[in-house]
Amino acid sequence: MLPLAGVRVLDLSNVLAGPFCAYQLALLGAEVTKVEHPEGGDLARRLGADKDAAARNMGASFVAVNAGKRSITLNLKDARGKAILRDLVKDADVLVENFRPGVMDRLELGFDKLSELNPRLVYCAISGFGESGELAPRPAYDQIIQGMAGVMSVTGDAHSAPLRVGYPVSDTVGGLTAAFGICAALVDARTSGRGRRIDVSMLEATLATMGWVVSNYLNAGVEPTPMGNENFTAAPSGTFATGDGLLNIAANETRQFESLCDVIGRADLPRDERFAARHLRKQHRAELKAEIEAALAADSAANWETKLLARGVPVGRVLTVPQVLAHPHLAERRFVREFAPAHGEAAQRVTRAGLCLGDADAAPSSPAPTLGAHTRETLAQLGYDAAQVETLRAQGVI
């Protein structure tokens, strides 16, 4: 049994940060019901590289973080839609939303109102800047947060920075932070019977992951600068050109540096006065890199990887997304899961959690749902008959 089996989650969020949070909970066994607007649902349904799937409201962006969930449609601006949500909240453990601060309160569906119905409810609000502070009312997207958090200022090199990280890292980190907070709050709710409100700021969640960079400034007064593919903590540590392909080398310890030099036929480098000590290697990283790359030009990244790993030097080729997804290592660990086509849809391939459990499979139990696939079933469980459901549908409530 998965750790969150029996936990009921209402996912009112859209696009990425909130859905990614709820996806992590679903992978760990929670029953996640996605609550979407009847007209189009989650915007992510219309996003992604497959335009035909997006036209069917099953875009690749939506599929990525919504497998294993149920989908119902509710118009939360309608009193009847609000009433249905309140009924669902009574038996829920968690509610996740990523509206702008204040929206749920204006709908009379905020934490204070809902906790009266269910005192043990864990209510998680994810926003760009948090629920308080002068930036709170601002709209926020991943790229805006990356820029304001300082991520872009340290990404790239002196010529290319500031540069956006190549995937929505702030959205993703915000979702992970929310999932972590929810799991902690659930532990307390199970023992105390008391839920709580969780206020997740994507800006602060992103900064919290920049620990070493932030600490160097806060505690040593060193303002971070973009260093491209170089590791600011050590040298030689970064990306190196070879005779064929790029190779990441992290010879952060002296013994690793000495082994590297021995393997590439430059056992003299550790005796060079420019490279004889750790701090000197950092000072002369450009000269050291030039010496190493000259030697690496004699063979391919794949062959150097094999030779260096045999001597205990941490290395890895720079792979593309297709290359790493095709790697037999991921196949052996069953990281990608495929669901057969259903209801006229294409097959879905999704990723499981970034962890493995010793006695259970942290993977989605079903494909991403079509819009409102579970609305009728859910309303029937709440006591609505077929005629009532049809009336709600005809009047745009569901």
Check if the beta carbon of residue 118 is closer than 8 Å to that of residue 93: no
Where does 257-366 show beta strands of DSSP type E?
Answer: 315-317, 336-339, 348-351
DSSP of 84-122? HHHHHHHT-SEEEE-SPTTHHHHTT-SHHHHHHH-TT-E
What 8-state DSSP symbol labels residue 244? B
Q: How far apart are CA 40 and CA 57, in angstroms?
A: 7
The CA distance from 368 to 398, in Å, is 19
Largest Cα–Cα separation, the chain: 86
Collapsing DSSP to helix, strand or coil, 124 comes out as strand
Catalytic annotation present for 171 = yes
229 near 236, Cβ under 8 Å? no
Amino acid, res. 345: E
User: Exposed, middle or buried: residue 370 (CB in 10 Å: 0-12, 13-18, 19+)?
Assistant: middle
DSSP 219: H
The values of phi and psi at residue 390, to 5°, are -65, -40
Given the residues 42, 142, 171, 199, the one annotated as active site = 171
Query: Do 39 and 14 contact (CB within 8 A), yes or no?
Result: no
Exposure string of 23-61, with b = 16+ CB inside 10 Å and e = fewer, is: bbbbbbbbbbbbbbbbeebbebbbbbeeeebbebbbbbb
Catalytically active residues are 171
